[in-house]
Amino acid sequence: MLALGSRNAQYARGFANSNALGKYQPDRDNAMNAKIYEGIHRQEQGGMTPTANIIRDAWVFGIIPEDETCEGWTVQGIESLYDKVSDAWMPYGHLASNLPPELRERHARIYAEAVERARMAGWDPELDEND
């Protein structure tokens, strides 16, 4: 498992080993290799993970465009996105119900689409990651 700061350890899921040029090398497990994110639509559990939630929230707030999957991003890039998303949520107490109507509607649409996509990929919210 990728060693990250405690707040981001859970976001390691979805990262693959790559060489210094960013080329994915699944057969190599060298600690010197950077970790590269596989992209929200290629992630396990149909993208129902903490990292994917960061990306969806970034879409909600317009931090990145909705067609940005973050495929190929480094851990540092995702951590930076996490910080920006956290700052964007701050005025709303990190609650979707506190968002202004336009953002609340965008949030509902993005997350409804994510749930539908994940269910089509076999995700079952009743099962935990060990089932």
The single-letter DSSP state of residue 39 is -
Distances (CA, A) of 123 to 15, 36, 63, 75: 19, 23, 27, 25
Query: pLDDT of 7-59, one tens digit each?
Result: 444 444 555 544 433 434 444 444 445 689 999 999 887 899 999 999 999 99
What is the pTM (predicted TM-score) of this model? 0.73
Place of tokens 């995702």: 78
Each domain of the chain, given as residue ranges in start order, spans 6-120
Give the whole-angstrom CA distance, residue 54 versus residue 104. 16
